[in-house]
Amino acid sequence: MGVTPETARTWIDDNLITTKAKFWTRANVGEVLPEPPSPLAWDLVWETGTMLGWRDCAINRFGFQEDELDEHRPEVLGLFGGYAYLGADFIRVFGERTPGMSAAAMDAAYFGDHPDVPHYVAELWHTNDASSATIAGWLGWVMTATEVPELLEHAAVGRSLRERRPDLDSLADLDLLARARSLVPSIRVFFDWHINLSGAASIGPGALGQICAAVGRPEAAMDLIAGLGGVDSAAPSYAMWTLSRTVRASGELNHFFDAGPVGLTQRLRGSDAPEAAEMLGSLDEFLYEFGSRGPNEWDIHAPTWELEPDLVWAAVDRMRLADNDSAPETRQAERSLQREALISEISTMLTGDADAQGQFLAAAHSARVMVPGRERTKTNVIRVINESRMAIWKLGERFVERGIVRERRDICLLFADEIEAAIKDGSSWGDVVAARQATLDEISSVEPPFIINEVVPPVDTWDRVGERAVEAVAVNASLQGVPGCPGVARGVARVVLDPSDPTVLGPGEILVAPYTDPAWTPLFVPAGAVVVDVGAALSHAIIVSRELGIPCAVSVLDATRRIPDGAVVEVDGSTGVVTVISLPS
């Protein structure tokens, strides 16, 4: 008997705490899944795609045993209260098995000195000589690889999927669903490489940090991984900057933008002005290349730039206000020159120690290859996910016409087998969708705990969004975060909670955000500095801020709630300290 509305689940099943997986955290995962994942995203992207790709990487590259990770929902990632959590026990075990590392080192990278991190207790299965030998071989590859051709091959696959996208209007309902399902194997393979490069991207920078500290130049470590070039998540910013220069130079286009980004695409289409037609042509080119990006882009329930082009104009609108000397390419080039000069300087300091000099140069080269590579793996996965999204949202349009859902995105509140059933008989599935929306609204109204250890607190005891008490800041107060990109900037703080509505952010002002993903990246360009509530080493905000040369501090706990909009703050990206200079009157 197939699935029916009467047997439908309320929501995605949560994980169970097990003896091997007791410690879970929102650290870092808040950048990828900041909101509760939708049922269809969990079905088509996560549980059958990304998580199994992560498991593949752990077994094939890190030497984990088949029986150490569940074959259906490996303990690398799980759900509690509807929110995604990283399996911190898995991360600790990886640290214990990696030569030269430890569980404590992994804790420091992910949590800093967070007071709620449980004490690590070693267990017999945490160490494994065969696994450590496999990881040692992987480390050798990380430090010696001059290129990663597989990433270019995957990029070609993603581009081919976009170029050969069929006419979705002409596909039957079941064919649209089949197209989305057919992409799961590519998501799995590409995410395997994402985890591979995510681990690899931390090795070179870690070695650089140790060497710089040993020669008395600890502050140089961040500069050595700035301005690397080839960072895919920064590429849309460069393209948007070009669009913003066109707008800035045109009185006609400025008139359109002065009315606000909402509905701008339609206003341009309704105009006879040549500038409007040219701008729409440029938009089409931009969307063809970067349309797969957007806020919460890992969840097919969320729109991308291709689906809602006005999201692009919101960022271009902020950029058009910036002077030409804020060009991101110029700042990136300056950072690149500084990095090369610093490599030469520290290499010279190590001339008397050939081994140390060789390790330093190898680490610098590894960072140059692996850090941009990590961002490319995300781009590759996101391209494929968006092809799935486009097929599903087209099917969602048809469900709207049939009265099954109110909006096309609401189809993502069903699981894949339920969509198949609804295609055959959608008469009763509307009630399931409405109930799931109510569930999603309720889940989204609470704040998930940052750490879960051994016991999952009842969801009805979790803080409601915005109700948790935070300490108010005073003048001269300092908020400690994690250093992201060196440099000091002072300016008016602008608290932006949604990348699609950045209209308060002016040139040179300090962007204060809850998290960042590529949808936020264009807002870095006009900003004087970036402050983020969450994040860890090599988080998105750090990589992009270093690429663009913008002071950045991440993991500034509750920054969006503690720093009042309009306060004047100073951001020291070298120390991660944000100082309140004055409060708004």
| 28 shares its domain with 99 | yes
Tens digits of residue pLDDT in 498-526: 887 888 899 999 999 988 877 788 888 89
For residue 408, the enclosing domain spans: 17-215+355-442
Give mean pLDDT, residues 58-82. 96
Look at residue 537 and tell me whether its pLDDT is greater than 80.
no
Whether residue 350 lies inside any domain: the answer is: no
Per-residue model confidence (pLDDT) at position 250: 95
Candidate from 104-108, 142-146, 284-288 with smallest mean pLDDT: 104-108
> How many whole angstroms separate alpha carbon 17 and alpha carbon 24?
9
Per-residue model confidence (pLDDT) at position 246: 96
Per-residue model confidence (pLDDT) at position 152: 96
Whether residue 379 lies inside any domain: the answer is: yes
Order the strands of the 482-485 sheet from edge to edge.
Answer: 478-480, 577-582, 568-572, 488-495, 510-513, 529-532, 552-554, 482-485
Buried b (16+ CB within 10 A) or exposed e, 245-269: bebbebeebeebbeeebeebbebbe
Whether residue 264 lies inside any domain: the answer is: no
Amino acid in position 268: L
Domain final residue, candidates 423, 442, 461: 442
| 373 shares its domain with 505 | no
Whether residue 576 lies inside any domain: the answer is: yes
* Cross-strand bridge partners of residue 490: 570
Look at residue 567 and tell me whether its pLDDT is greater than 80.
yes
Whether residue 225 lies inside any domain: the answer is: no
Give mean pLDDT, residues 531-553. 83
| 86 shares its domain with 167 | yes
Look at residue 1 and tell me whether its pLDDT is greater than 60.
no
Give mean pLDDT, residues 193-212. 94
Whether residue 493 lies inside any domain: the answer is: yes
Give mean pLDDT, residues 555-575. 94
| 496 shares its domain with 425 | no
Q: pLDDT confidence of 445, banded at 50, 70, 90?
A: very high
| 23 shares its domain with 139 | yes
Mean pLDDT computed over every residue of the chain: 93
Give mean pLDDT, residues 155-178. 97
| 499 shares its domain with 560 | yes
Q: pLDDT confidence of 30, banded at 50, 70, 90?
A: confident
Per-residue model confidence (pLDDT) at position 114: 78
Per-residue model confidence (pLDDT) at position 373: 95
Tens digits of residue pLDDT in 218-263: 989 988 998 898 888 889 999 999 999 999 999 999 999 999 999 9
Beta strands in 347-501 (DSSP E): 451-453, 478-480, 482-485, 488-495
Whether residue 249 lies inside any domain: the answer is: no
| 82 shares its domain with 163 | yes
Look at residue 169 and tell me whether its pLDDT is greater than 60.
yes
| 417 shares its domain with 565 | no
Pairing of strands 577-582, 83-87: unpaired
| For the chain, percent of residues with pLDDT exceeding 90 | 79
CB-CB contact of 213 with 331 (8 Å)? no
| 434 shares its domain with 565 | no
Give me the number of domains the chain comprises: 2
| Residue 367, C-beta contacts closer than 8 angstroms, at least 6 positions apart | 201, 204, 205, 208, 224, 225, 228
Tens digits of residue pLDDT in 107-117: 987 887 778 89
Q: Of 470, 463, 482, 405, nearest to 436 (Cα)?
A: 405
Sign of CA dihedral 109, 55, 160, 40: negative
Look at residue 214 and tell me whether its pLDDT is greater than 90.
yes
Whether residue 394 lies inside any domain: the answer is: yes
Q: pLDDT confidence of 37, banded at 50, 70, 90?
A: very high
| 504 shares its domain with 416 | no
| 522 shares its domain with 425 | no
| Residue 344, C-beta contacts closer than 8 angstroms, at least 6 positions apart | none
CATH code, domain with 485: 3.50.30.10
Helices 173-182 and 354-401 sit at what angle, rounded to 10 degrees?
170
Tens digits of residue pLDDT in 319-352: 999 999 889 988 889 989 999 999 999 999 999 9
Per-residue model confidence (pLDDT) at position 109: 79
| 367 shares its domain with 411 | yes
Look at residue 384 and tell me whether its pLDDT is greater than 60.
yes
Domain final residue, candidates 384, 414, 442: 442
